[in-house]
Structure 1
Amino acid sequence: MNFNDTPEGFRSGFVSFVGRPNTGKSTLTNALVGEKIAITANQPETTRHPIRGLVHRKDAQIIVVDTPGLHRPRTLLGERLNEAVKDTYADVDLIGFTIPANEKIGPGDRWILDAVRNVSPKTKILGIVTKADRVSRDLVAAQLMAVHELLDGKSEVVPVSATSGENIETLIEVMTSQLPEGPKFYPDDHLTDEDSDTRISEAIREAALAGLKDELPHSIAVEVDEILPDPERNGVLTVHAIIYVERPGQKDIIVGRNGQRLGRIIHNSRKDIIKILGQNVFLDLRIKILKNWQSDPKALNRLGF
């Protein structure tokens, strides 16, 4: 059967999650897809480009677009991330507006909602209260009411926990009901349209972010240089990749005492890379200084921003 042969009444479309940084959009995307396709970290502004994940059901195919969190930018990178987000949700069928159950609605949420409505005034909005497992039922109920009011009482609001799986199927049903009838866009065995180089660089960046604080996480970028068969090890691929930072002191932090942090980054990211490529790998990871790359147009272009 051709994947475009879809049954009558089949629904399909694009759903973009928007919200402040660190509201659980990437974790929710992974929970919906059923496999890790988006990196997660405790730092805000972890996601740097729209990631498409696929949710397959008998009656629907949902393309979930995980985007960077909208924020007031401080660098050229921040400006470009915001533009990428706006371009994404100007072209989707449904916007999932994410607000955590354990945080009060604030000016940042209202600013994002206004931005969404300005760019895409006709697109349906679905309220999603994330991290519902973090607070009591009463507080979840209060947040549902608050989000319902924020959305002018015109949109459905669904509470979910991506970590426990609570209400994930309900969210899928609600999203499906709000999508138009249409064909499958991807075959049933596809989970993401991300290329392997991007997924590998993101896996390395996720490992590098672990345990970091302050400004350093924003200064880290990763580029896959090349992937080659290892002539000395049968069935092993050598992945050559580079971590970029902006200052020499940041390089020292990434390397760590006696190279321990760098060794941990290689060890942890290699496990994900093996899953992505489906075979054993040797990871050759170097660190380079690319001064002030977040505000350098040429460096941003080179890194794909």
Structure 2
Amino acid sequence: MKTWLITGCSSGLGRQLAEAVAARGDRLVATARSADDLQSLCDRYPDTVRSVSLDVTRAGDTARAVDLAESAFGGLDVLVNNAGFGFIGAIEEGEPAEYRPLFEVNVFGLIETTRAALPALRRRPGARIVNLSSGAGIAGSAGFGFYNATKFAVEGLSEALAGELRPLGVDVIIAEPGPFRTAFLGRSMAAAAREIPAYAGTTQARRHYRQTNDGRQAGDPAKAVAVMLQAVDAENPPLHLPIGPRAHAMAERKLDAFRADMAAWRDISIATDFDTHG
């Protein structure tokens, strides 16, 4: 039986994962900005689920959640950094008041949550950290630049964290889901207020995608959660975990393009050392 701390459990994959964790009998500290959103979960699993209000941008909230896990359940085995939101807009369209909060939640909130939980996790051999990235953390695309930037940050941070924690017996999993049928394109997606006509052919397509695909995504959230649970339980979990056919296709295209660029420019780009040594 594992003890989990999951951020962003009010809806989406976070709620789906919290439900699955509780249903299989594990212990859970479920968090959301309003703990009232989690009361029904606590009522169904009074012995194994606790809830607490947690805003990842607010200092001290995560420490209280970790303290609850340790006081109620004796420790912490799995941290899932799920809280986050998306943003649509060309780089020129975005304003600091719009994109800076994105970084505060998706990047800095994840960092501070992880830092607060690490002492407890290091005390539990076999502990896991699951950082929710996205297909947007695999490859950038026009109209999602700011969101891409936050998820690329999650990828780099997680890879470094994995190198630091692996010798200590803690594994990191970067979950990279494609489109799944959650409220992500609705309540969890913001958009730049300004629309510049020059970007109608690129960014406008992303806005249209949001309007026409919200609630119609092909991915089944329950199946995504099942993959994440299997990875957490694995003896040797993957560092990178693309979830869904679209995420896998994005990764394959990215790797192919990366290799093609490297091959085409290899001889030129590696001839950069000094001609003499010593």
Normalising by structure 2, we get a TM-score of 0.33
The normalised TM-score by structure 1 is 0.30
Higher helix share: 2
